[in-house]
Amino acid sequence: MLQDRLLETAIAQFGQHGFEGASTRDIASASGTAMSSITYHFGGKEGLYLAAADHIALQIREQLGPLHDRVDRALPLATREEAVDLLLMLADGFARLLLRRESEAWSRFIGREQQQPTEAFERLYQGAMKAMIDTVLALLARCRPDLPETERRAMAVLLYGQALILRVGRASVCRIMGGAALNQEDEAMLRARLARNVRCILSEDMDG
Amino acid sequence: MLQDRLLETAIAQFGQHGFEGASTRDIASASGTAMSSITYHFGGKEGLYLAAADHIALQIREQLGPLHDRVDRALPLATREEAVDLLLMLADGFARLLLRRESEAWSRFIGREQQQPTEAFERLYQGAMKAMIDTVLALLARCRPDLPETERRAMAVLLYGQALILRVGRASVCRIMGGAALNQEDEAMLRARLARNVRCILSEDMDG
DNA sequence: GTCTATACTACGATAGAC
DNA sequence: GTCTATCGTAGTATAGAC
């Protein structure tokens, strides 16, 4: 489908060069069509950009939806220990997603929006991120009822950062791990260490 | 100084719009000069970009240098507990830097280079990041001699992520904390929680 | 629906006046 | 050193053919 091809190309190009750096001519020709198709289907460059954001939100929902649903269903009846396990599952699912090559294109797109939010960020947030964050906060409330709400929110932020760095700071991550790219063992170790961190933080001495 | 004014403007504009999105005309006029000054002083757009990267590395060294030196000097004689405290100091210094408004401009610049490394990343890494990472790894070796080297590197990555999210994922951080911007209490809580996470991870049960 | 042709704007580089 | 003027290229948008 022409529209989908344009969207995929747009995500890659906008992610790589930014909104202003990407050119509609290039996006169109890389999709095997003429530039004016973009005007026709999306109304222009900006319409294409927003449609790309919606497309990304949809992809993320498709990727994490099943896992997310499973966690949401299990949450109401979960004990504290089960909630810890659910959060570990969710964190690992997210980490796996961010380590996959396929996430590179759209994560660049999101990365730009994080630092420079436009209307597209609102679509990404409402379309994909909000539900996930709410679930994480609910899980944290179950795991650490001893902490004030604000501190649990801070925990969610820092947890999010530990996963996000795997994609957003990839250049540094490779340097720190000591190679040009991440190999299988690096990825396994990062995921394992993330799990240990989460477990450790969630089971921290509750007098604290 | 005209050069410095151009560099400051360039960091802001390159960070905001990317290399291709930023225009030398705009950078020049925002610096109160003509575009051809860029050609004269930096040889062109690319020269300005690389000089901007060097300028950022210098700024970071100036900001974190004193703290970093203090830690480096204390490290050789530090006990495990003292090493934990040194790492906490370093992490908090980094977090404070990333929470400051001034870090916004150059962090956007670095953020782009992280996902799309060019020669500028090499300069940033060699000029500012490498020394910091080495110190963190040395501190981790002191704190957690029980862990294999690779796992300590993974720890460094995840620690780095927890600080970096404060700047790089700011839009999400604000949403999670529940406001349009971070207020004093949010920042204090994020820093406190980061410290608790670090202490918790470093003092984790050493059986493994 | 998709393409070609064209209009208009803005870009970076460069030459030359001061 | 800094500015103005100009050149060639590349950007988006749009009208109209098919």
| Residues above pLDDT 90, as percent of chain B | 96
Q: How far is CA B113 from CA A16, A59, B125, in A?
A: 11, 25, 10
Q: How confident is the model at residue A207 (pLDDT cuts 50, 70, 90)?
A: low
pLDDT in tens, A96-140: 999 999 999 999 999 999 988 999 999 999 999 999 999 999 999
Contact B201, B136 (CB under 8 A): no
CB-facing half-sphere around the CA of A47: CA atoms within 13 A:
11
Angstroms from A1 CA to nearest CA on chain B = 29
pLDDT exceeds cutoff 90 at A150: yes
Helix (H, G, I), strand (E, B) or coil at A130: helix
Helix (H, G, I), strand (E, B) or coil at A148: coil
Find the domain containing B78 and state its range.
55-202
Whether A23 is covered by a domain: the verdict is no
Whether B120 is covered by a domain: the verdict is yes
Whether B177 is covered by a domain: the verdict is yes
Whether chain B has a CB inside 8 Å of the CB on A95: the answer is no
pLDDT exceeds cutoff 70 at A206: no
Strand C lies under 7 A from the Cβ of residue B25:
yes
Whether chain B has a CB inside 8 Å of the CB on A60: the answer is no
Amino acid identity at B125: Y
What's the pLDDT at A208?
A: 45
* Surface of B (139-198) touching A: CB under 8 A: 150-151, 153-158, 160-166, 168-173, 175-178, 185-186, 189-190, 192-194, 196-197
Q: Strand C nucleotides below 7 A of a protein CB?
A: 1-5, 10-16
Q: At what angle do helices B170-177 and A103-115 cross, to 10 degrees?
A: 70
For residue B41, give the nucleotide whose C1' atom is nearest its CA: D1
The secondary structure of residue A145, as a DSSP letter, is: T
List, as one string, the DSSP characters of chain B. -HHHHHHHHHHHHHHHHHHHHS-HHHHHHHTTS-THHHHHHHSSHHHHHHHHHHHHHHHHHHHHHHHHHHHHHHGGG--HHHHHHHHHHHHHHHHHHHHSTTHHHHHHHHHHHHHS--HHHHHHIIIIIHHHHHHHHHHHHHH-TTS-HHHHHHHHHHHHHHHHHHHHTHHHHHHHHTSSS--HHHHHHHHHHHHHHHHHHHTS-TT-
Distance A128 CA to C12 C1' (A): 40
Size of interface A-B (CB pairs under 8 A): 186
The average pLDDT across B80-108 equals 96
A36 burial via Cβ count (<10 Å: 0-12, 13-18, 19+): exposed
Lowest mean pLDDT of A107-121, A146-160, B174-188, name the range: A107-121
- Which of A13, A122, A162, A170 is the mutation pick for testing B, counting most B CBs within 10 A? A162
Angstroms from A41 CA to nearest CA on chain B = 24
What's the pLDDT at B206?
A: 61
Whether A194 is covered by a domain: the verdict is yes
For residue A41, give the nucleotide whose C1' atom is nearest its CA: C1
What's the pLDDT at A1?
A: 87
Q: How far is CA A15 from CA A113, B104, B109, B132, in A?
A: 10, 20, 15, 29
Q: Which of A132, A92, A57 is nearest to B176 (CA)?
A: A132
Whether A158 is covered by a domain: the verdict is yes
Whether B18 is covered by a domain: the verdict is no
Q: Which of B201, B208, B182, B191 is nearest to B89 (CA)?
A: B191
pLDDT in tens, A8-65: 999 999 999 999 999 999 999 999 999 999 999 999 999 999 999 999 999 999 999 9
> Which residues of A are less than 8 Å from B113 in CB distance?
171
Whether B59 is covered by a domain: the verdict is yes
| Residues above pLDDT 70, as percent of chain B | 99
> Which residues of A are less than 8 Å from B160 in CB distance?
165, 169, 172, 176
Whether B106 is covered by a domain: the verdict is yes
Q: Which of A104, A122, A112, A107 is nearest to A20 (CA)?
A: A112
Strand C lies under 7 A from the Cβ of residue B36:
yes
Distance A28 CA to C3 C1' (A): 12
Question: Quick one: closest CA in A to B187, which residue?
Answer: A154
> Which residue bears the tokens 């150059």?
B106
Q: Which of A108, A69, A172 is nearest to B122 (CA)?
A: A172
What's the pLDDT at B208?
A: 45
Q: In total, how many domains does chain A have?
A: 1
pLDDT in tens, B134-171: 999 999 999 999 999 999 999 999 999 999 999 999 99
- What is the residue-averaged pLDDT of chain A? 95
Contact B3, B41 (CB under 8 A): yes
Strand C lies under 7 A from the Cβ of residue A176:
no
What's the pLDDT at A191?
A: 98
Q: What is the CATH number of the domain that holds A148?
A: 1.10.357.10
Strand D lies under 7 A from the Cβ of residue B147:
no
A165: nearest CB among B20, B161, B194 = B161
Helix (H, G, I), strand (E, B) or coil at A139: helix
Contact B33, B75 (CB under 8 A): no
What's the pLDDT at A116?
A: 87
